[in-house]
Structure 1
């Protein structure tokens, strides 16, 4: 009978905690505010009213788009989705046309934060699933940790996706002074509920630092993250440098039951797009573009833009089809997210800063996302030797002055679970293996001639870029190149008067002609005739491409360039030796939010009883009706216990009765709790499982207590 009492006690404690917690919302209802949502900072706080002077180190702002396709920024040549604010950054800065990223969210973010290839951190396969107890290894030091040690205020806004099963894996334990956003890989744009990709568990995931931000329910994610970023800028002490990592949800899909979400008035702007899903996707991208404008404008108002570096990039290519497809376009490149092809791993990227001496250009310098850690470290005036053994290289000098890239080789990935690998050296790329349907050419073109399939196209208007919030903000900032000219002017080397020099500087503002010239240079063109194409089946044998001449990977050179093929194959083998095994693990059912007040939590740090007990204590005293309901349930439990106890002693034959008794015992218990699954009689773990199953079934009775209230 001890097992019975243990199970009954477990169920009653858990259920009592549910009844005693009136702040726990119904899954489908309106979420009440968390009492600690506006505080609970784990780090330093800035105060804009106590500014002393401007920081000498540059502010570093990373704006990360999620699953954005190459063809879904208008500076790459498509007229379908105008992105004037992103374009303003790109045209006034440097468009990075050879910027490589891993093919998936988690590996890409791990490389950005560590400066290492995912094969060297165990993050090379797939993404961290919602109930998966793993994270970016704690032995790795992250970009915000390095920058915080250098005096930066560090803030994360938006998506994390680098682990949270224990609290030490979350942002504010890994170098960020603050975090407002979500821990998982996606969420509903309005309710902020997250449905587990495969298990179907569902729970709320929006945090301010470690506190659940219930008050955000019903507000559009992109707007929330934009408002938070602007708030942080407005409250920042400008005598201290800022590092902000703004990792948007957009344009990733929401949960699978409602993947495409955007405000109706935004969707209405894209009536020219025939595909209804891509129409909503366009609205999601448009909201993201507006966010970029708001952030850049806030930096300008605060006087921080004059000493800032702003990077806009996508974590990987768009998933045009397949799981979490967002209808994004990687045109004209081959492949989609989660594949070794260019459409997955050559990402959208542009950098702007007044510190760049040669802006307004399209760069074909080879670069990898892991390079940003040493690049920003160097831009901050710090010695990259402090970073130890990393894979990233310092690109700052090359970006600022248009020098040759110090990088000549990129390991795109080695995934021994999916059985594919790819490497680029110089102009050549080697691919062996691929993923399901990942090797084709997908996505809408956004060019004339496809109107019957894609819809009509608006005209590309350079003035929209110049009049965008980002465009206006940037136009008021004197760049490093202009300062050089002004210095020469004052030394009498350029003009007879400073007034003449000022007029000269004014004429150097971005013009519509500059925009059209840069846009044409940034557009990838694949002028391969049908008879020139050479097919490739990477599942049978390796493929080789010259991605400088053939960025669309249409001409397989494996047979005609065997020496280069062998050289890249050998290089890849050397990296295989240094790779560590992928750290993926089985998912854990205890992550299910049903055990954790309907939220995704650090479930390995506590058990459900302790969680519910602390939840009850923090929510105040138990209401009278709730106590009455608990008393009724206790009485029912005692009656059930007496019935079961009586049944046990009605058997006359000891051994057979013992078997029958246990079978009857579990049948009665299942019937009384409305359980449908059989329970192993002699397993202690099955008793615990039964208690949790019973809790799951009984949890719905919380509505009874709410009705009593």
Structure 2
């Protein structure tokens, strides 16, 4: 007689639960995620609590970092337009750089490529990529650059889309162009609130389809005005400017706005498969000194060719596609975002374009991936309004050394012992390891030309 087998119901339930969970995770990761790329304006790592900062409260970013993945060695170009051009096109600046405040109108951006891949796309915040120079300075750059409406996004809501002298305020009473028309009702309103209002409205209207949102923030760039949470704003002094008084308020309001976007995603039930990325275009303004929990005081390094100018936050929170609660120490540079976002979204990299970056998605998922050996920065702001004296700088750096190539002797520094880059290494006196690093970096640097 064949014995009757009584199934273990708990075992079956557990197996079914694991099967359902596996299927859910596989669907979530394989389906096209939403992607939101937020880039702060003028914010070094020292401003955030999750990077050891002690001067300002950033609970939303600290939480996103704790639950997601914090990249500890991400870099930008030390000034805004060069970073924006590299970020939006995936190319080092030597390939397509024209001038400060200018994006080549013939370039394709991630707005074009996400739109072509079937994503709904939106840009909200700061543009400043057309006709930057005022009438009395370098008139050859007037009326040049990319128009916001040509940048590939289905919708835009932007400050500073035209001539610099017409830009007006980005903060109190902002001048904003929305899909071809200027707003007429911004009196007594705060620009960053409006940029996020538009982002959240776009998300809600497009929650049933995959979307890509690029939010280049106006915060925390000067002028250092009060925010709606500042006492001066409530007292009517909305245009007062002081880095000592208001930079901290601006950092904390920036964090609050990111919390609003995160909350909207949760409210709509789409947070799980939305990849939320936070980055910055360069270091903190030099007027600002921030304290660290270890007791150091860090002066902002915007425009500087050292780590105070380029070492910026990178926080990614994507519950469906991450091994969260981790810190990644691999190098990241600005050209890495397009390959990474496209891999996450299952969009093939266009074969008719050059892309200089590496995807960091494997590291996000807890895998080794293909870490960079170095980052490269081509910084050629060109003289512009109030920018006389800025000359081209090109360098390559790994986890210890920084090698410049604009001088005949290729100045070489160990920034772990010389963070301000004051003492070039004398290779004749250097040890074998240092000389080998110089040879390796010089070879890589020699290839950074068209």
Q: Same fold (TM over 0.5)?
A: yes
TM-score bracket, shorter-length normalisation:
0.7 to 0.9
Q: Deviations over 1:377-402 (max 9, x none)?
A: 11111223546321122221232223
CA–CA distance in structure 2, aligned partners of residues 170 and 241 of structure 1: 25
Residue of structure 2 aligned with 1:179, choices 135, 148, 156: 156
| Change over 3 Å in CA distance of 1:232–1:546 after alignment to 2 | same
SS of residue paired to 1:309? strand
Q: Does 1:249 align with 2:122?
A: no
Q: 1:298 and 2:264 equivalent?
A: yes
Q: 1:264 to 1:242 in 2, by over 3 A?
A: closer
TM-score by length of 1: 0.50
Unaligned runs of 5+ in 2: 1-27, 132-141, 235-240, 383-390
Residue 117 in 1 paired to residue 70 in 2? Answer: no
**Does 1:423 pair with 2:423?**
no
The Cα offsets for residues 306-350 of structure 1, whole Å up to 9 and x where unpaired, read as: 1100001111101213xxxx6667976787111211111111111
Distance in 2 (CA, whole Å) between partners of 1:539 and 1:206 is: 46
> Any idea what the Cα deviations from partners look like across 1:60-102, whole Å, max 9, x if unmatched?
0011110012211111112220100111111111111111111
Query: Does 1:544 pair with 2:417?
Result: no
Shift of the 261–540 alpha-carbon distance from structure 1 to 2, 3 Å rule, reads farther
1:405 and 1:99 mapped to 2: Cα distance? 15
Deviation, structure 1 residue 168 = 8.1
2:353 to 366, 373, 388: 388
* Alignment pair present for 1:235 and 2:200: no
| Higher radius of gyration, 1 or 2 | 1
CA distance in 2, matches of 1:391, 1:174: 20
Q: 1:136 and 2:136 equivalent?
A: no
What is the alpha-carbon distance in structure 1 between the residues aligned to residue 381 and residue 255 of structure 2? 37
Describe how 1:34-49 pairs up with structure 2 within 5 A. Answer: none
In structure 2, relative to structure 1, the CA distance for the partners of 1:546 and 1:387 (3 Å cut) is farther
Q: Which moved more, 1:294-303 or 1:412-421?
A: 412-421
Structure 2: distance between partners of 1:421 and 1:63: 26
SS across alignment from 2:185: helix
Listed one character per residue, the Cα deviations across residues 578-628 of structure 1 (whole Å, up to 9, x for unaligned) are: 2xxxxxxxxxxxxxxxxxxxxxxxxxxxxxxxxxxxxxxxxxxxxxxxxxx
Alignment of 1:170 with 2:152, yes or no, is no
Q: Residues 153 and 281 (structure 1 numbering): CA distance in 2 closer, same or farther, change over 3 Å? A: same
Aligned length: 386
Cα distance in structure 1, aligned partners of 2:213 and 2:250: 22
Greater displacement, 86-95 / 393-402: 393-402
| Counterparts of residues 606-617 of structure 1 (less than 5 Å) | none
Q: What does residue 388 of structure 2 align with?
A: none
Question: Per the alignment, do residues 76 and 569 of structure 1 end up closer, same or farther by CA in structure 2, a change over 3 Å counting?
Answer: same
* 1:346 alignment partner in structure 2: 311
Q: Is the 8 A contact 2:284 2:300 kept in 1?
A: no
Partner of 1:155: 122
Contact 2:290/2:298 (<8 A) preserved: no
Contact 1:103 1:344 in 2 (8 A): yes
Measured at CA, do residues 234 and 421 of structure 1 come closer, stay the same or move farther in structure 2, by a change above 3 Å? same
- C-alpha deviation, 1:292, in angstroms: 0.5
Q: Is residue 374–residue 384 contact of structure 1 (8 Å, CA) maintained in 2?
A: yes
Distance of aligned partners of 1:208 and 1:336 in 2 relative to their CA distance in 1, 3 Å threshold:
same
| Structure-2 residue corresponding to 1:146 | 113
What residue is the counterpart of 2:280 in the other structure? 314
Which whole-Å CA distance do the structure 2 matches of 1:329 and 1:214 have between them?
Answer: 41
1:565 pairs, out of 423, 438, 446, with 438
SS in 2 for 1:571: helix
Which runs of no fewer than 5 residues in structure 1 stay unpaired? 1-53, 129-134, 193-204, 270-274, 434-537, 579-709
Give 1:162 deviation, angstroms. Answer: 1.9
CA distance in 1, matches of 2:270, 2:244: 36
More strand by share: 2
Structure 1 moving runs of 4+ over 4 Å: 164-168, 266-269, 326-335, 538-541, 549-556
Tell me the distance in 2 between the aligned counterparts of 1:306 and 1:252: 31
Query: Per-residue deviation at 1:262?
Result: 2.2
8 Å contact 2:411–2:424 — kept in the other structure? no
Contact 1:340 1:413 in 2 (8 A): no
Aligned CA distance change for structure 1 residues 95 and 235 (closer, same or farther; 3 Å): same
Aligned-residue RMSD, C-alpha: 3.2
Please, what TM-score do these two structures have when normalized by structure 2? 0.77
Kept in 1, the 8 Å contact 2:82–2:93? The answer is yes
Equivalence for 2:301:
336
